[in-house]
Structure 1
Amino acid sequence: MTVRELLARTTSRELTEWQAFERVTGPLDLRLRGDIAVGIVAATIANSNGAKKKAKPSDFMPVWFKRRKTPDEVWAEVMKANAALGGTVTQHDPEGG
């Protein structure tokens, strides 16, 4: 699928939600997540060389976020990104009216 086809099928809101998700969890493309592999190797080397405290891969990985955000904070970021991308918000009636 081309980028043009993907953008034609994806709403601004959905794209903004994926963007917010990636900001919290780190890159979605595992090829860009070399930090995981490097963390495993670094922890293994540290532990095999007699680290004082058992090292974990996460000890060698970047922190993608400092604290958990509240749902309201995440939603505010989503709405800000949506507006920056020229998106609009449509309210749906949950009862179908």
Structure 2
Amino acid sequence: MAELLATHSSAELTEWIAYEQITGPIGQARDDALMSILAATISNTARGKGRKARASDFLPKWDSGKGRPRMDWTEMLTAVKTINRSLGGTDLTKDGGEHVDPGRTPRRTRNQQR
């Protein structure tokens, strides 16, 4: 991500996002769609009478985060520090501690009920 941001401007990234919205997915998502069409075609040539396979039958369903409870900022910070530690990263926060400012309450996101 750091390399991407260092080599591409915000304007260029915005243009790529717009291009993808017009032409369809770029990269992995497009490859998944193309391979699912191919798998459905091959499956249908070897299938007898009955329901035909659809491309969507072979399209991977990647984790979208649905069903998981929302985390507040303190839980997110703990998760990031755990991942950082497991990957051998260095904690550059104040004292590298796990302390939380007791005077700060988690902010609600737009989608959370009050």
TM-score range, shorter chain: 0.3 to 0.5
Which structure has the bigger radius of gyration?
A: 2
Report the TM-score when normalising by structure 2. Answer: 0.35
Q: Greater RCO between the two (CA within 8 Å, min separation 6)?
A: 1
Task: Looking at secondary structure, tell me which structure has more helix per residue.
Answer: 1
